[in-house]
Structure formats: structure tokens, C-alpha cells
A = this chain, B = another copy of it.
Amino acid sequence: MKISALLTSAGINIGLCVLFLSLYSVLRKQPANVRVYFGRRIAEENERLRGAFILERFVPSTGWIVKALQCTEEEILAAAGLDAVVFNRILVFSIRIFSLAAVLCVFGILPLNYFGQDIKHVRIPSESLDIFTIGNVEVRSRWLWVHCVALYIISGVACILLYIEYKHIARLRLLHLTSATPNPSHFTVLVRGIPKTAKESCSDVVDDFFTKYHSSSYLFHQVVYKVGKVQKIMTGAKKAYKKFKHFTDETVDQGCRSITYRCCLCGASSNSFKLLNTECEQNRRKPDNESSLNLDDEECTAAFVFFKTRYAALVASEILQTTNPMKWVANLAPEPEDVYWSNLWLPYKQLWVRRIATLLGSIVFMFLFLVPVTFIQGLSQLEQLQQRLPFLRGILKKKYYMTQLGPTSHSERKRSACCKVLYFTIWNIFFVTVLSGTVISQLSVLSSPKDIPIQLARAVPGQATFFITYVLTSGWASLSSELMQLFGLIWNFIRKYVLRMREDTEFVPSFPYHTEVPKVLLFGLLGFTCSVLAPLILPFLLVYFFLGYVVYRNQLLNVYRTRYDTGGLYWPIAHNTVIFSLVLTQVIGLGVFGLKESPVAAGFTIPLIILTLLFNQYCRNRLLPLFRTFPAQDLIDMDREDERSGRIDEIHHRLHSAYCQFPDTEDVPLEKIKIIGGDEEQGCSSGESTGKDTCVDPKMDLSHPTLKGLPVSRLRHAVRSITFLIRLQKRGLSE
């Protein structure tokens, strides 16, 4: 590729970008699209931007850019959480380091590369791009020390900036921890691997254990019920109900009320317990079961245990409870919004097998994926590759996201998917492209690690052209499409004008960290590896990061809603990737200096690698533990402050309703229903009254119209189950 061709390509892409940005600035002002572009604002602030028809709406403007740039970190933190700040810091870090690298390499190294060989230069626009890479520097050149110094400066500054960011985010994480509103997850421990006993119910076992060994700090607990079929039926019913409601808004009330019975499953909050699930319980019932105890087999999987202080919960989560490390496994609970209920009931002893299976599956998939990639590479040109790759990558991301077995929280699931997508992206975009060729030649590279630096050193400068076009097309284009929300826009249009459905106020997407973080980190990797070898990529990359900075800030503030937060746990991933990129750059540099027969430059690169790894080790010792656990000192201080101010009782009270396995379907009206026919326990279960309707009377009116036609045995069983659940929950509350 020649400079002129590159400039043409850049020009076209810049034009497209400007077009999309202008289009966006117009589309966002249309009231019809307000749900697409301001989902978070509407959901959280109930802001409605319905204006009259004015001309201004159709004139492109730059106000949104100014707004995105002006908002402070505190505002992002308040609006989109710590993860958004971390993502923002990744972009800031990239802009800073690549600004320096661009200045250093474009003005320092580019001329050296260009005049590296004593050849006759044609006019610059007709020059091949290869002439700007280190490939053009002649062997044993006395100017290679400049490249080495540039590598030192970039690595050094990158490490300093990384350290500053790491400290900053660690500080924010601690602030997040000690923020004003007490977080119920800090008082809660998720216990798995509860041993089964024949005599006692699971709830009793949990109670006995924690009363005995954590007596001074144990508050109460809440058993997690095995869902699966029940959950499926309930979700199905909810969906059916919603659809139903959408068409006939008036008649539904009566219809739905009749199948929904309230039950105090989750502490003080009232919950709807659907009689529907007795049906599946019926299915699971063994021929000669012991009536009320048959729920126990299913429930003995996990429990949330609540403690009086944050420190007590931390201690319980950190220590080994018993002599069997696979029983009573305690971890700090995820935040209530973040709990991934459908994974909680997985038996703990299966988890490690599932995890290994997932890992093996991912690795196999990664290598199988080589076949289509190399097939495309073998057949066609780079442009085609670029077209196909995103498509294949899309499938893969879904695949990785789907196969997450084990995580107990949404955020952990996303973070795990993020890592897998990252490995995959780096492997397939960087290594496979660089070491392009057949599958066999790649595997043979794999099997001789010694030659990897040399192989990479040969390949990377040559692939610089591809990477520049990749940044221009894939990078810039992905930002435009992110901003435009093309899918959302079209879906919104169809929904509104074709299907004529109501607006769904509930659905606001979360920011897809698991795809966006790897994307930004991949461009960082490209930047580092190409910086010294082929600096021409840096200006294009800088544009990408600047644009990304504006676009992502805008999206985080306006479009996405933050439901759960990892508390900054994406930063260690970013840190490790940057360190990997730096070391890879240095290893490639070592190979290049070796190829260019410059023993001095190669010799000086080795201590740089060691220093970078030492720096990483220092960060692991000094800062990483803060991302794995909480410091006791801060927790104790917070506990004391709460106790001093008397807030602690209120916090304890709120814990009762914090975690709710079967949440209220807000749209379904609740109603007190008499359940007649239960012969186990009579009377109301309201051990405490926290306001509105908390009591369920375990009697059931068999003459109720909905229950007509159901066999009596089935109803009797339903009553038994409900009674048992109520009894269970009463026991949990009273102690």
C-alpha cells in the first residue's frame, strides 16, 4: 500500500465518521428516538424530551461533544458507576501514553526509518508504507540505539502512568466501599456446600452452624431454593401476563390475580408465590414422600447468611470453616441486583468440573476457530478478512458469554466473558494475523517458543499496513455504530410504527464491558507493538482513542443503565493486558535488534523486560490485594461509625428484604387470599409487621374459581409446601 492509498482510505473513513456523527447529532434530537439515545436518563431521571417541531432539530450540532467532554469523573461515577470510571481511565491512559509515543516516534523514529537506507526516494505520496517501518533501517545501523531509547521511554512512562491509574482506581474502589449508603452485600455471605443431614432441614443446619461458630455476629439467614423448572414456569407466566396486559389492559387484573398467591419468602418484603409451581413440585414428588420435608432435598444448596457487622462478614468469608474445604464454602455475597440466581443452586462440588469443562471448551473453540480465519486469510484479501472477522467474532462473543457456568453474579459473569473475549481477540486478531499462513505453520511456531521473537520481529513491521487499515475501518467504524445504535434505532422504529407496541420503560441495556474493554485493549496492544517498529499507525490510533473518549462518555451518560458494578475489577485485567503488550513489544524489539545485528540495543532490551516484569510484580504485591478483598481497618471503622450514629439497626432491618429470590412482579397486584385445607399449621405467619400486607394465612379457599377442576391432592400438596415455606421463613426471622 502506498501513502496516497492510505490517505484516500483515511479520507473516506474520516468522511464517513463525520457523516455518522452529524447524523447522530440530528437523530438524537428527534423525540421518537429518545428511548434509543437517552435510555438511562429516562429510566433514572424520568426526563422527557418531547419538544415541538422546530428547525433546530434538523441541524447538526456539536453540543453533545462539549457536554461529554465537560462532565467530570464524579458525574460519571454517580451516573454510571465505578466500572464506567475504570473504562474511562483506560481511555485516558491510552490517550496519554500514545500522545507521547506519537510525538516521540513520528518526529524521532519515522525520519530515521525513512532515511534508514541509502536509496533514492520517490515523492512521498507514492512511497510504499513499508519504507516508514524499521524494516527499512539497514542492518548494523548505528541509529538503532534511538529505537532502543524510545522503547525505554515509552515503557517507563507507560509504567508510571499505569501505577498512577492503579493507585487512583484503588482509591476510588475504597471510596466506593465506604460510600454513604450502606451496602447490604457487605453484611452478607453466600454460603455454598451446605452438608445434607437426614434429620434436620437445611435451614436448621445453617442456623445451627452459624449460631454455634459465629454466635456473636450471626444475624439470620435465607435459604436459596432450587429453581429451574419453577423459575421457567414463572418467567413464562410473567411474559404471558405482560403480553396479555399489553393488549387488554383492563381485563387482566382479575385474570392474573387468581393465579398469584403471596408468600413471605424473602424476609419482610411480600412476595408473590404462584400456585402454578405446585404443579412442577407435584412432578418432582416421589411416590411416598414425607409431605412437608420433601422440599429439603432441593433446597440444600446455598444460603445467604447475614451478619451484624461488615467485619464479621469479611472474616466469615475469608476463613476455612471446617475440615472439609468443599463444605460451608463462604464468600462475600454479590450485590442484590447483581445476583445471578439461576447459578446459585448449582451444587458446589460440581463447580470445579464445570469450570474446567468451560475452560477446555474455550481452548478447543479458540483453536477450531483458526480454521475459518486461516481459510479466509488464505482465500482472500485483507478487506474481506475485515468484513468477516467481526461477524465471526460476534458469534464467538455470544458463545463465550453463554458458556459461563458457575459465576454467582452478573458482574462476575461479564468479567469472566471479558477475559475470554480478550484472549480470543488478541490471539485471533494479533497473533494469527501476524503469523498468517496455514494452520500448520502457526502450530509449528507455537511449538518452537525460542523462535517466536524472531518470527514476530519479521512479521509485525510487515503487517503494519494491515493494522493501520484495521484501525481506520474496524476501530473508527465500531465507534460510529456504537454511537448510532443502529440496531436499537431500527428496532425502535419497527416497534413504534410497524408493531405499534407500547414503549417498554423497563428495558435499558447495560454497557457491554465484556466486548468494549477487549476492543480498546486490543488497539492498545497494536499501538504498543507498532509504536517503535512502524510509527505511522500512531496518529490514526490517537484519533480512535480521542473519538472513543468522547463517544463512550456520551454513551455511558445517556444510553446505558448500570444495574450492577464489579467495583473496578476491570482495571486489573486492563493492567495485565498493558503489561503483556509492553513485554510483547520488548520481546519483538529484542528480535528486531537481533535481526538487525545490533547486540548493544538487544542487550539493553533484556533488562527492560526484567524491569517491566518486576514492576508488574510490585503492583501485584502492592495494589492487587485491594481488588481481591476489603481491608479490615476500613470495614471496622465503618462498623463503628454506624454503631455510633445508631444507623446499624436500620441497616439490619433492611437486610431482611435485601435479597429476594422470587421478586415481586411489580405489575401483578397482590392480594390476601385465604388458603383453606392446610392441616399443618393454622394462623397468620406475620411474626413482624413492617408496614403493608406481610401476612399469609395458610388456608386456601377451595371454592375459589381458579382452583376449580384441580385435583384435591394437588391442592393439598400446594398448601403443605406453602405452609412449610412460611414456617421456614418464620424460623429464619425469629432467631
Q: A: which residues have CB within 8 A of B?
A: 170, 174, 213, 314-315, 318-326, 352-353, 356, 443, 446-451, 614, 617-618, 621-626, 629-634, 636
Determine whether the beta carbon of B632 is less than 8 Å from that of A320. yes
Determine whether the beta carbon of A319 is less than 8 Å from that of B314. yes
Query: Quick one: given A353-B614, A447-B448, are A315 and B319 in contact (CB under 8 Å)?
Result: yes
| 19 sample A-B contacts, Cβ–Cβ < 8 Å, listed by A number | A174-B323, A314-B319, A315-B318, A320-B629, A320-B630, A320-B632, A321-B632, A322-B632, A323-B626, A323-B631, A323-B634, A325-B621, A325-B622, A325-B625, A326-B621, A353-B614, A356-B614, A356-B617, A447-B450
Contact partners of A322 in chain B: CB under 8 A: 631-634
Inter-chain CA distance A27–B502, complex, in Å, is 100
Contact partners of A356 in chain B: CB under 8 A: 614, 617
Contact partners of A621 in chain B: CB under 8 A: 325-326, 352
Most buried by B among A314, A450, A633: A633
- State the 3 A-B residue pairs at the shortest beta-carbon distance, nearest first: A447-B450, A325-B625, A322-B633
* Closest B residue, CB atoms, query A316: B632
Query: Quick one: given A325-B621, A353-B614, A617-B356, are A633 and B449 in contact (CB under 8 Å)?
Result: no
Determine whether the beta carbon of B213 is less than 8 Å from that of A632. yes
Contact partners of A629 in chain B: CB under 8 A: 319-320
Q: What is the distance, in angstroms, from A520's C-beta to the closest C-beta of chain B?
A: 28
Q: What is the distance, in angstroms, from A331's C-beta to the closest C-beta of chain B?
A: 14
Most buried by B among A320, A324, A447, A622: A320
* Closest B residue, CB atoms, query A360: B610
Contact partners of A324 in chain B: CB under 8 A: 622
Contact partners of A318 in chain B: CB under 8 A: 315, 318-319
Determine whether the beta carbon of B633 is less than 8 Å from that of A213. yes
Contact partners of A633 in chain B: CB under 8 A: 213, 321-323
The prevalent SS among residues of A at the interface is: helix
Inter-chain CA distance A626–B446, complex, in Å, is 38
Determine whether the beta carbon of B352 is less than 8 Å from that of A320. no
* Closest B residue, CB atoms, query A450: B447
Inter-chain CA distance A618–B632, complex, in Å, is 31
Contact partners of A624 in chain B: CB under 8 A: 325
Q: What is the distance, in angstroms, from A579's C-beta to the closest C-beta of chain B?
A: 15
* Closest B residue, CB atoms, query A446: B450
Inter-chain CA distance A315–B168, complex, in Å, is 29
Contact partners of A614 in chain B: CB under 8 A: 353, 356
Q: What is the distance, in angstroms, from A212's C-beta to the closest C-beta of chain B?
A: 8
Inter-chain CA distance A325–B353, complex, in Å, is 32
Contact partners of A319 in chain B: CB under 8 A: 314-315, 318, 629, 632
Contact partners of A625 in chain B: CB under 8 A: 320, 325
Inter-chain CA distance A352–B625, complex, in Å, is 15
Q: What is the distance, in angstroms, from A274's C-beta to the closest C-beta of chain B?
A: 38
Inter-chain CA distance A634–B356, complex, in Å, is 31
Determine whether the beta carbon of B618 is less than 8 Å from that of A325. no
* Closest B residue, CB atoms, query A636: B213
Q: What is the distance, in angstroms, from A322's C-beta to the closest C-beta of chain B?
A: 5
Determine whether the beta carbon of A320 is less than 8 Å from that of B631. yes
Inter-chain CA distance A174–B325, complex, in Å, is 13
Determine whether the beta carbon of B618 is less than 8 Å from that of A352. yes
Inter-chain CA distance A574–B629, complex, in Å, is 32
Inter-chain CA distance A170–B352, complex, in Å, is 21
Contact partners of A447 in chain B: CB under 8 A: 448-451
Q: What is the distance, in angstroms, from A327's C-beta to the closest C-beta of chain B?
A: 10
* Closest B residue, CB atoms, query A635: B319
Given contacts A213-B632, A213-B633, A447-B451, 15 further A-B contacts (CB under 8 A): A170-B323, A318-B318, A321-B632, A321-B633, A322-B633, A323-B626, A323-B631, A323-B633, A325-B622, A325-B623, A326-B621, A352-B618, A356-B614, A447-B450, A449-B449
Q: What is the distance, in angstroms, from A494's C-beta to the closest C-beta of chain B?
A: 49
Contact partners of A315 in chain B: CB under 8 A: 315, 318-319
Contact partners of A631 in chain B: CB under 8 A: 320-323
Inter-chain CA distance A448–B624, complex, in Å, is 34
Determine whether the beta carbon of B213 is less than 8 Å from that of A626. no
Inter-chain CA distance A623–B323, complex, in Å, is 9
Determine whether the beta carbon of B320 is less than 8 Å from that of A622. no
Most buried by B among A321, A356, A621: A621
Q: What is the distance, in angstroms, from A713's C-beta to the closest C-beta of chain B?
A: 43
Q: What is the distance, in angstroms, from A706's C-beta to the closest C-beta of chain B?
A: 48
Q: What is the distance, in angstroms, from A198's C-beta to the closest C-beta of chain B?
A: 21
Q: What is the distance, in angstroms, from A291's C-beta to the closest C-beta of chain B?
A: 33
Determine whether the beta carbon of B622 is less than 8 Å from that of A326. yes
Contact partners of A449 in chain B: CB under 8 A: 447, 449
Inter-chain CA distance A170–B636, complex, in Å, is 34
Q: What is the distance, in angstroms, from A321's C-beta to the closest C-beta of chain B?
A: 6
Q: What is the distance, in angstroms, from A438's C-beta to the closest C-beta of chain B?
A: 16
Q: What is the distance, in angstroms, from A319's C-beta to the closest C-beta of chain B?
A: 5
Contact partners of A352 in chain B: CB under 8 A: 617-618, 621
Q: What is the distance, in angstroms, from A634's C-beta to the closest C-beta of chain B?
A: 7
Contact partners of A448 in chain B: CB under 8 A: 447-448
Contact partners of A323 in chain B: CB under 8 A: 170, 174, 626, 631, 633-634
Q: What is the distance, in angstroms, from A178's C-beta to the closest C-beta of chain B?
A: 10
Most buried by B among A324, A356, A632: A632
Q: What is the distance, in angstroms, from A422's C-beta to the closest C-beta of chain B?
A: 24
Inter-chain CA distance A634–B325, complex, in Å, is 13
Inter-chain CA distance A443–B451, complex, in Å, is 12
* Closest B residue, CB atoms, query A610: B360
Most buried by B among A319, A352, A353, A624: A319
Inter-chain CA distance A454–B602, complex, in Å, is 34
* Closest B residue, CB atoms, query A613: B356
Determine whether the beta carbon of B626 is less than 8 Å from that of A325. yes
* Closest B residue, CB atoms, query A177: B323
Inter-chain CA distance A697–B625, complex, in Å, is 47
Contact partners of A630 in chain B: CB under 8 A: 320
Q: What is the distance, in angstroms, from A609's C-beta to the closest C-beta of chain B?
A: 12
Q: What is the distance, in angstroms, from A56's C-beta to the closest C-beta of chain B?
A: 50
Contact partners of A636 in chain B: CB under 8 A: 213
